[in-house]
């Protein structure tokens, strides 16, 4: 019987932990959708629609087929949450726009969803910024974009070269791709933490 390396064990635990987190997020979304009487698949559409958006762009953002976007638009219109409008730039293009009721529901859904998120309750603001940076880094690596190499020639976190490597200058809305000085502390705490029970 072979033994796993520490790296293999860590990867296995990450898969398990991410799976548990995804299950929690899906369950949370289903609970909120049921409470507000909106189909689950409309939650993402409501989140994405912060201004008028061409239906094809909505499909791209949601990674779904155009026919499914049509079904979402129909459902939102039926509930009085959105309406279709012809684009002012090209009348052949239909934009989906939230109604006043849609904007109000969107705000309620987002407040409710965020309030119960595990990172909101378990992590401070710096830790959440670090987590966001790590998630974006993983998404970038998974999408085929060149991940930031962690080598001896890599620029230091927070340097202008690091900002350039991360896609340009950072802004208050875009946290660094590393967690900064405290990232190691957070990681070590999470690695050594033992599950309760």
The torsion angles phi and psi of 15, rounded to 5 degrees, stand at: -60, -45
Task: Please tell me the pTM assigned to this model.
Answer: 0.63
Boundaries of every domain in the chain: 30-115, 123-197
pLDDT digits (tens, 9 = 90+) for 38-63: 888 888 899 999 888 998 899 999 88
Q: Which helix (H) or strand (E) holds 96?
A: strand 94-98
pLDDT digits (tens, 9 = 90+) for 68-116: 999 999 999 999 999 999 888 888 888 999 999 999 999 999 999 889 8
pLDDT digits (tens, 9 = 90+) for 161-170: 333 333 333 3
Instruction: Give CA separation, 173 vs 129, 132, 162, 176, in Å.
Output: 10, 11, 17, 10
For 118-123, what is the mean pLDDT? 90
CATH topology of domain 30-115: Arc Repressor Mutant, subunit A (1.10.10)
């Amino acid at each position: 019987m072979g033994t796993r390396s520490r790296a293999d064990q860590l990867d296995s635990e990450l898969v398990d932990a991410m799976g548990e987190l995804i299950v929690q997020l899906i369950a949370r979304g289903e609970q909120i959708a049921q409470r507000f009487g909106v189909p689950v698949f409309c939650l993402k559409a409501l989140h994405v629609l912060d201004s008028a958006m061409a239906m094809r762009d909505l499909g791209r953002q949601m990674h779904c087929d155009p026919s499914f976007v049509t079904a979402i638009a129909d459902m939102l219109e039926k509930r009085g949450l959105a309406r279709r409008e012809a684009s002012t730039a090209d009348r052949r293009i239909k934009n989906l726009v939230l109604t006043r009721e849609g904007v109000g529901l969107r705000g309620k859904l987002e407040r409710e969803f965020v309030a119960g998120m595990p990172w909101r309750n378990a992590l401070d603001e710096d830790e959440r910024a670090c987590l966001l940076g790590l998630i974006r880094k993983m998404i970038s690596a998974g999408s085929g974009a060149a991940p930031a190499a962690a080598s001896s020639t890599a620029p230091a976190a927070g340097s202008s070269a690091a900002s350039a490597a991360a896609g340009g200058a950072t802004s208050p809305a875009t946290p660094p791709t590393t967690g900064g000085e405290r990232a190691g502390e957070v990681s070590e705490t999470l690695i050594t933490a033992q599950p309760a029970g």
